[in-house]
Structure 1
Amino acid sequence: MSVPPSGNRTLSRDDGRIRAPLRVACFLPAFNAGETTRGIELCRALVAQSSERQREVTVRLAYSSSSHDYAPQIIASGLEAHRLPLHLDEGIVSGIMAADHKAAELVSNRGTACRFVGAVMDEIIAWRPDLVVCGFVPPVGIAAQILQVPWVVYLPFPAYEPWVRRHLLKDLPDDFDNALTTRAPSPVRRAFTKLLSAAMLSKGFFKQPTFAAAGREHGWRLARPDLFDMLAAPLQLVTDLPAFYRGQDVGPNTRITGPLFSRPPEIDVDLAIREMFSPGPHNRIFVSMGSSGEKPYLLAAVEALAIMRVRAVVIVAPRICSLSEVRQHLTVPPHILLTDAFIPAHQVNAMADAAVIHGGQGTVQTAVGAGTPIVGVGMQVEQCTNLDNVANSGAGIRIPKRQWTPEKICQAVSRVLEVPSYRQGAARLKSEHDSLDGRHEAARAIWDFVDSNAL
C-alpha cells in the first residue's frame, strides 16, 4: 500500500525542471517538551533553507492531544498546526514517559496502539505528504513503512542495534548501583556492563511487541519487528555533539548533526527571575527536570538548595508536580524562586553558576550551550549516558538515582562551584557547541535526502 502524490499543486521551476512544492508532515508527541521543541526547530530550519534549494515547502505539524501538553507552542510556531483525532489520557502518557525508565513497552494496550498507528496512517492518507518527519515515535515509523512514504527520524542517540549494544551503556545502570558494585574494580564493572547491554536488548522497551502487533493488524508485513525496525528510517538524524561519537559505528543511515533544541529569540526574562539572579554574594543555581523528570528528584533538589547559601530558580513542570505540592513538601525559603511558567531556559542558564537538572537531551544541551556546569540525575539509560558524556568531559557530576539525596546534591553542587576545572570543562563543551549549527546541519541533511530521492 502506498500513498499517491498530492494533486492540484502549484509548480515551480528549478534548473529547467518543474518541481512541485514539497509537502512535509511532522508528527509531534505534544506531551513531551523536548521532542516537540526539537521537531518545531527542525521544521523551521527546513523552511528557512527552502530558498537556497529553490523549492517551496509546506510543513504541517500533526500532534495528539493530552491533559498537559505543549500544543500552545506548536500553534505559535508559525507553521500549520493540525491536532489529530487522538487524545492520550494521563495514564497512557505516564506509561509512555516512564517506559524507558522501567525498560517497559511504550504502550501495552493493543487497542491503544492500533488507534495510534491508525490515526497516523489516516493523516498521511488524507494529507498526502511527500515526506514524513518524526522523533522517537514508533507508530509514525510503522505507518510510514506501511504506506511506503519517505521518512526521516530525529533521535537523541543512534537507533542502530550494534551501536546500542556497544556504546549506549557507559557504566552499570543506576538500578545496579549498590555497595558491592560501587566498590567493584573497573574491569569487573565493564564486563557486567557488556553483559547487561546484551540483556537490555531483549527487554520490552527494545522489542515493543504491542506496537509490532498493531502494525501487523494494519498491514505491516515485516517479520518479527522490534524498536530498531520501527525507527529504521532511510535517514536518521542524531541531534547530539559529534565529539561524543568519535570512532563509533553509528550506522549507515545516521548523521550526527549537532544539538537541536528550542532557542527562541532573546526576550525579557521575568523580573522575579532577574531579581533572584542579580549580581550578589551568593551563587545562582538553575533547576529543571524538563517534562520527563520525576517528582521525588525535583523535591530532593529543592530540599538540598533550601539549606544552602545560594539563590535558586526552580522550574516546576506541571507534568511532574504542582507548585502547591512543592510547598506542601517543605517550607520554601525566600532564596528559592519556584515557577511553573514556560521560560527562556537558554537565557536563564547563562545567568546561573550551576544547573541542577535531569538528563534529558534538550535540558542538558541548553546548559552546555550556556557553559554552565551540571549536577544531574538520569531517569533512564539514555539520560544517564547524556550526563556521563558531560561528566567525562569534566563539565559536571552525575549522581545515581539511589544516591540522589539532599546531602549528595549539596556536596555535588558545592564541588562544581568550588573546583575551577568544572567551569573550564563546561567552557570547552560550550566552545564545541558554539562551533556547530545543529539546526542548519539537520535541515541540510533532509534537503540532501529530498534531492537525492527526487521527492
Structure 2
Amino acid sequence: MPMILFAPAVFNLAETTRMIEVAKQMQGNHHCEFFGFSKTFASLIIESGFTYHLLTPTLTEKQEEQIIKLDQLRSFKNPFTKEMVAARILSEKKLVDKLAPQVIVTGSNVTIFLSARSKQIPLVYVKPYAMSDPFFRSDSAFIPSSLRFFGPLRKPLWYWTRKQLVKSRWMPRAFKHAAQTEKLSMPETSLRMMDADLNLITTPERFITKELLPDNYRIVGPIFAKMGASLPEEVLTFIEQKRRERKRIVYFAMGSSGNPRMVRKILAFLQNRPELAIIAPVTHLLKGKHNVSENLFLTEYLPSHLLHEHIDFSFIHGGEGTVQTACASGKPFIGIGMHYEQSCNIQYCVAYGNAIALTKPVTEKNLETALTEVGDLKICQQACQLKNHFPTNGPQKAMQEIEHFLEINNSDYH
C-alpha cells in the first residue's frame, strides 16, 4: 500500500488528534505512519493503532513551553537554534529515505517545510484559515482586540499591518541558514514559506464562504478529536447528581496550551457560583494542588464530543478543535483566545451568534457579564441552529482531497 507520513507537532493536542482523524480515514487504502520530536501526546497516536517514530533531537518540556509561549506572543525566546533545525532536518530526511512516503501530511511541524522541499516529497498542510496568506490578504480579517485602544485609528493601522505581513520576507535566522545549506529556492514571502503544495482548510465554509482562495487551497471543514467510545462512569455519576440538584453543567477546557494562572482564576470564579457544576479536564495545567469542591469534577483529558447532551454551555480557549467540538454540541460557549488565531476562531462564532468572546485582561466583571450573556435564549437558539448545519465529514473530505492530489501530482512531482 502507498505510504503516507503524518508530521504533527505532537505536543499540541488538537493538532495531534486532527492528524489522527485524517489517518483513520486513509488507513484502509494507505499505510499511515507518524513522526515527531515530542513524547507528549505520542500515546494517543500509538493507542489509535499507528506507528510513531520519535525523532531526535527530542523536545524537552521546557522547549515545548517556549514554543507555546512564542506562539501566544507571551515570549520571544526561540528554542530553534541553527543546530536544532539542522539536526531535525537530518532526522526527517533519514526517515523519508527509509519510508519513501508518497506524501507528507503536516500540521505545524515547522522544519518539515524545509525537509519535504529538500527531498522533493509533496506536502499537505491541514490548517485553520486564520493566519494563512489569503487570510491576511482579505479585508474581512478580524481586527485584533489589542488595537481597540487606538480608537478610530485601529482600522487603518490594521490595514497597514496586514499589508506588511503579506509583503514580509523575514525568516528566522536558523531557518534561513538551513534553507541555504539545503540549497532550497524558497517562496518570496514569510507567509508563503508556510504554505504547502496543498493546503486543506479546516475552518467551516459557512464562516469564510465569501473568501477568495488560491488554487492550492481547499476547504474540507471541521476536523476535531473523537477519541474514546464512552465517558468514564464517574463523570456520568457526577452529571446525574448535579442534574438532580438543578445545577447548570459547564464544560471548562483550555487545551494543551492554556495559561495555568488564568485557568486557576477562571476556575475559582466558576466554583464560587453555586448554580454551576463544572467538568474540567485541566489537571495537566494545574501545577500543584487546587482547591476542589463538590461542584467541581477535575480530571485529565475527556472525549469531549460525548458530553454534548449533558452540558448547558462550555467555557473554552480558542483552539480550533475545541471550538469546533463546542459548535457541534449545539450548546453556546464562552471563549477566550490565547493568541490572535484563537481569537479569530472565536470571533467567527460570535459573528454567527453562538458564542461570547472574553477578552483580556480577565476580570470578575468581564466574567460576570459573559456568564449572563451565555444564558441568553437567542444565543442558545443560534447554537442549536449551527449544530444542525455544522459539517461533520471533514476527515473524509481531507482524505478525498489528498487522494485526488496524489492522483494528479504524484507521478510527475519534481
Counterpart position of 1:411: 369
1:255 paired with 2:218, answer yes
CA distance in structure 2 between the partners assigned to 1:426 and 1:411 by the alignment: 19
Counterpart position of 1:136: 108
1:381 paired with 2:343, answer no
1:77 to 16, 26, 48: 48
Sequence identity of aligned pairs in percent?
23
Deviations 1:193-236 (A, max 9, x none): 323323455789x744432322322332337662421x322211
1:64 paired with 2:37, answer yes
1:158 Cα deviation from its structure 2 partner:
6.1
Counterpart position of 1:334: 294
1:364 Cα deviation from its structure 2 partner:
0.5
* 3-state SS of 1:372 partner: coil
CA distance in structure 1 between the partners assigned to 2:26 and 2:112 by the alignment: 20
Counterpart position of 1:15: none
Deviations 1:170-194 (A, max 9, x none): 12x24345xx44xx35xx4433332
Shift in alpha-carbon separation, 1:220–1:86, aligned structure 2, 3 A:
same
Counterpart position of 1:314: 280
1:97 paired with 2:68, answer yes
Deviations 1:349-375 (A, max 9, x none): 442111111000011011111112110
CA distance in structure 2 between the partners assigned to 1:95 and 1:410 by the alignment: 32
TM-score, normalised with respect to structure 1: 0.83
Within-5 A mapping of 1:158-177: 160-166=132-138, 169-171=141-143, 173-177=144-148
CA distance in structure 1 between the partners assigned to 2:294 and 2:58 by the alignment: 40
Counterpart position of 2:269: 304
Shift in alpha-carbon separation, 1:428–1:416, aligned structure 2, 3 A:
same
1:88 Cα deviation from its structure 2 partner:
0.4
1:430 Cα deviation from its structure 2 partner:
1.3
1:293 paired with 2:252, answer no
Counterpart position of 1:451: 407
Shift in alpha-carbon separation, 1:277–1:203, aligned structure 2, 3 A:
farther
Deviations 1:15-52 (A, max 9, x none): xxxxxx2111111221110110011111111124x3xx
CA distance in structure 1 between the partners assigned to 2:268 and 2:324 by the alignment: 25
1:432 paired with 2:389, answer yes
Is the 1:168–1:385 contact (alpha carbons within 8 Å) kept by the matching residues of 2?
Answer: no
Counterpart position of 1:244: 207
Superposed CA RMSD = 2.3
* 3-state SS of 1:342 partner: coil
* 3-state SS of 2:138 partner: helix
- Aligned residue type for 1:412: A
- Aligned residue type for 1:43: A
Deviations 1:381-410 (A, max 9, x none): 1100000001111001111122x2233223
CA distance in structure 2 between the partners assigned to 1:442 and 1:223 by the alignment: 25
Is the 1:378–1:400 contact (alpha carbons within 8 Å) kept by the matching residues of 2?
Answer: yes
Is the 2:102–2:410 contact (alpha carbons within 8 Å) kept by the matching residues of 1?
Answer: no
CA distance in structure 1 between the partners assigned to 2:167 and 2:358 by the alignment: 27
Aligned length: 406
1:43 to 15, 23, 39: 23
1:272 paired with 2:234, answer yes
Is the 2:138–2:211 contact (alpha carbons within 8 Å) kept by the matching residues of 1?
Answer: no
Counterpart position of 1:34: 14
Within-5 A mapping of 1:4-43: 21-43=1-23
Within-5 A mapping of 1:148-167: 148-157=120-129, 160-166=132-138
- Aligned residue type for 2:31: T
CA distance in structure 2 between the partners assigned to 1:47 and 1:443 by the alignment: 10
Is the 1:159–1:232 contact (alpha carbons within 8 Å) kept by the matching residues of 2?
Answer: no
- Aligned residue type for 2:53: H
Unaligned 5+ runs, structure 1: 1-20, 51-56
1:289 Cα deviation from its structure 2 partner:
0.3
Shift in alpha-carbon separation, 1:358–1:160, aligned structure 2, 3 A:
closer
Is the 1:304–1:406 contact (alpha carbons within 8 Å) kept by the matching residues of 2?
Answer: yes
* 3-state SS of 2:335 partner: strand
2:57 to 64, 81, 86: 86
Is the 2:350–2:357 contact (alpha carbons within 8 Å) kept by the matching residues of 1?
Answer: yes
1:221 to 185, 199, 207: 185
Unaligned 5+ runs, structure 2: none
Within-5 A mapping of 1:340-379: 341-379=300-338
Shift in alpha-carbon separation, 1:106–1:262, aligned structure 2, 3 A:
farther
2:352 to 393, 409, 425: 393
CA distance in structure 2 between the partners assigned to 1:203 and 1:448 by the alignment: 32
Is the 2:10–2:36 contact (alpha carbons within 8 Å) kept by the matching residues of 1?
Answer: yes
CA distance in structure 1 between the partners assigned to 2:66 and 2:213 by the alignment: 29
Is the 2:5–2:103 contact (alpha carbons within 8 Å) kept by the matching residues of 1?
Answer: yes
1:254 Cα deviation from its structure 2 partner:
0.6
CA distance in structure 2 between the partners assigned to 1:118 and 1:245 by the alignment: 38
* 3-state SS of 2:58 partner: strand
Is the 1:240–1:258 contact (alpha carbons within 8 Å) kept by the matching residues of 2?
Answer: yes
* 3-state SS of 1:292 partner: coil
Is the 2:125–2:198 contact (alpha carbons within 8 Å) kept by the matching residues of 1?
Answer: yes
CA distance in structure 1 between the partners assigned to 2:295 and 2:403 by the alignment: 48
